[in-house]
């Protein structure tokens, strides 16, 4: 995966973790974080596809640290591979606890998106490899 010292990729989203997003233990629910990463991580896929994409896989999801209510969560993404119709994006989530200056990597994973047409079927990327 990536370096734990600083975020890699483009900042594609930022959100504050809220009380409604907690699990029974009071930490932010992992599914909420995964959803934030999926939505924000699609940003570079939409740009490369020049249009609509669908998430088809999430691989190597690792939860390094819990997120607490009030933490600012920043999502970073970078394209790591393109195929004929697919785009693989490495996505990282970093938190900045309230009143803190430093950030901590909390989650990372690889999301695969596929360019789709109006018929919701895969379509070639505009710059698809031959």
Q: In what order do the strands lie in the sheet containing 86-96?
A: 10-16, 72-82, 86-96, 104-115, 53-63
Element (H, E) at 76: strand 72-82
Q: How far apart are CA 71 and CA 34, in angstroms?
A: 16
- Residue-range domains of the chain with CATH: 10-115 (3.10.129.10)
Which positions of the chain have pLDDT values less than 70?
Answer: 1-3, 128-130
What pTM was estimated for this model as a whole? 0.91
pLDDT digits (tens, 9 = 90+) for 98-116: 888 999 999 999 999 999 9
């Amino acid at each position: 995966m990536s370096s734990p010292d600083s975020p890699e990729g483009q900042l594609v989203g930022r959100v504050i973790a809220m009380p409604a997003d907690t699990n029974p233990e009071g930490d932010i629910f992992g599914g909420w974080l995964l959803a934030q990463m999926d939505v924000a991580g699609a940003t570079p896929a939409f740009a490369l596809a020049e249009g609509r994409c669908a998430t088809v896989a999430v691989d190597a999801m690792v939860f390094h640290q819990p997120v607490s209510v009030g933490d600012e969560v920043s999502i970073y993404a970078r394209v790591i591979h393109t195929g004929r119709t697919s785009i693989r994006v490495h996505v990282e989530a970093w938190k900045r606890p309230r009143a803190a200056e430093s950030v901590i990597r909390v989650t990372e994973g690889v999301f695969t998106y596929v360019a789709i047409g109006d018929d919701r079927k895969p379509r070639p990327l505009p710059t698809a490899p031959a």
